[in-house]
Amino acid sequence: MQNRSGKRKVAARIGRSYKFTNKRHPEKAIFAIALGVISLFGICAVIYLSFKEQGGTRPGFGLTGLLAVIFSLTGEILSILSFRDRDSFYVLSWVGTILNLLVLIGVALLFSWGLRA
């Protein structure tokens, strides 16, 4: 394409503009999400098996619940610590924080409902 002066005009680039960066996802946040998912599946399995046995529990159910709380607390601490990492994306840190907090709230509600019964 040429303009009035006869020089070639560089076509404008249409589309996304990319910005290259050295940012990365913190390993602590990734590990925190993994711990949150494991604890969420553990709690869901305990709830499902308790309903399946019509309220009857086994000692393994309590151990699974305790491990889920420990994993979730560890994941919460790791996800909060991952906010200290500079030059990092914080999306996974937020996901890990919210996921582990929801699991802890769910376990607290489960225990409070169990104490009322």
Q: What string of pLDDT tens digits covers the 117 residues of the chain?
A: 556 665 555 555 566 667 677 777 778 888 999 999 999 999 998 888 888 888 777 778 888 888 999 999 999 999 998 888 777 778 888 999 999 999 999 888 888 877 676
Is 80 inside any structural domain?
A: yes
- The answer to whether the pTM exceeds 0.75 is no
For residue 18, being part of any structural domain is answered with no
How many CA within 13 A on the CB side of residue 74?
13
Residue type, 64: T
Residue 77 falls inside a structural domain: yes
Q: Residues near 116 by Cβ (< 8 Å), separated by ≥ 6?
A: none
The range of the structural domain enclosing residue 45 comes to 35-116
Establish if 1 belongs to a structural domain: no
| 89 lies in some domain | yes
The pLDDT of residue 73 is 94
48 lies in some domain = yes
Q: Is residue 98 part of a domain?
A: yes
In a domain, 46, yes or no: yes
For the chain, how many structural domains are there in total?
1
